[in-house]
Amino acid sequence: MADLAETETYVAGIYQLEITDPVIGGPDGIDNLQAKQLANRTNWLKAKIDSILSMSFIHTAVAENPGDTDEFGYWDSLTLSLRKVTLTNLKTVLFGSATLTGTPTAPTAPDGTNTLQLATTAFVQGPKVGTVTNNSAPAGYIGEYISSTIPAGSPAALPNNLGVNITSISLPAGDWDVRGIVLFTGAATIGMVFADINISSAARSSEAIATPMFNASYNSATYGPLSLSIPTKRVSLAATTTVYLVAFSNYSAGTAFSAFGSISARRVR
């Protein structure tokens, strides 16, 4: 004797046998129609219950609310009872800032991860490992390094009493440590020389490094280039900005001075 073939289908209504219906058996017989419809409903209901049972872990987080029209029941395998939950509350628990209990875990992303993945913040307390090879920090990362150098063979001419940009660098927004060195070359009677790092072109700030020469005669061919080192200077920027290495000289006699040098910056945050 064969069993009826069943499907996972919800049938809206159950057929009523009429007094005029003939007695016909078999898989498509009219006498087996009601049994097939009820069996299909049962299969459909079982699939739904199995799906809900797999979510029984949420039983402590979802409030019962039997008055809502979108409620349904599920079997709580921990309390062995049928509980009611609304679909609205279920969505809130699963997708709307749910408060997890117990000791849930998640992966810890490595340093440098910049994605939308979910992860713990354990890396914040972990050791910060620097590079282990001779590479450069990517743009935007702490440690990013930018520099520019004008060699001794290509010095910039220094007109008397005028500031001159020896070179410059373009720094993106951020907090930077900037330093520089200017070397003066030529022969002249010098009153004063200045070196500065400035975001204003060819300008001298109150922090400029100066060396008074007291109108001394100086010849770089004899004594070597006169150098001024500019200590580390904090440059905090809200947008990409050009930062200049500026030189200034005051002289009264002799050939015009020239200058060369370098400027460098390291991102600190």
- 255 DSSP β-pair partners: none
Which one, of 214, 208, 211, lies nearest residue 191 by Cα?
214
Span 148-173, mean pLDDT?
Answer: 95
Highest mean pLDDT out of 80-89, 137-146, 235-244: 235-244
DSSP designation for 234: E
pLDDT tens-digit series, residues 178-189: 999 999 998 888
CB atoms within 10 A of CB 213: 19
Span 198-208, mean pLDDT?
Answer: 90
Q: What percent of the chain has pLDDT over 70?
A: 76
Span 241-255, mean pLDDT?
Answer: 88
Residue 11 has pLDDT above 80, yes or no: yes
Higher pLDDT, 157 or 53: 157
> 99-103, 136-140, 247-251: which range is least confident on average?
99-103
Q: Distance between terminal CA atoms of the chain?
A: 80
**Cβ-based neighbours of 131, under 8 Å, separated by 6 or more:** 137, 143
Which domains can be identified in the chain, with CATH numbers? 145-267 (2.60.120)
pLDDT tens-digit series, residues 209-245: 887 766 788 888 888 899 999 999 999 999 999 999 9
Higher pLDDT, 65 or 111: 111
Rg (CA), the chain: 41
What's the rounded Cα separation, in Å, for the pair 204 and 32? 101
Cα angle 59-62-66, degrees, rounded to a multiple of 5: 105
What's the rounded Cα separation, in Å, for the pair 250 and 252? 7
In degrees rounded to 5, what are phi and psi of residue 124? -65, -35
pTM above 0.75, yes or no: no
Cα angle 196-149-136, degrees, rounded to a multiple of 5: 110
Q: Are 227 and 183 in contact (CB under 8 A)?
A: yes
Residue 130 has pLDDT above 80, yes or no: no
